[in-house]
Amino acid sequence: MKGHEYTFAGGDQLTGMGATWFVSYYYFKNKDSSHVNWKNVKTAQNRISRFKRTENYHISWLKEVLRMNDKNLAKATIGLSPEQTKKMARDLLGL
């Protein structure tokens, strides 16, 4: 995501993780431990550290993901479509 930073609260931190990666890891931690798409990056450990430091933003970020442009979410490289990402975010929010 070079040249782009989310402008909502904590957006700089989410930019450093990637929105799709964030949803994937959150889903793994809270819904389905067999979901492992988040592992498809070399920087997973750094992202996990960032994830742990930003817990206070997680719910609001899930809501932001639902408003994101599918074309931007489609740029993710962990094997999830924008539709899958948003479905997981809705599931995590109980929607």
User: Tens digits of per-residue pLDDT, 74-94?
Assistant: 999 999 999 999 999 999 999
pLDDT tens for each residue of 46-73: 999 999 999 999 999 999 999 999 999 9
pLDDT tens for each residue of 2-57: 456 799 999 999 999 999 999 999 999 999 999 999 999 999 999 999 999 999 99
Task: Report how far apart, in Å, the C-alpha atoms of 47 and of each of 40, 44, 78, 83 are.
Answer: 12, 5, 13, 22
pLDDT (0 to 100) of residue 5:
78
Check if the beta carbon of residue 65 is closer than 8 Å to that of residue 6: no
Q: Taking the domains of the chain in order of start, what are their residue ranges?
A: 11-93
Tell me the C-alpha distance between 90 and 95, whole Å: 5
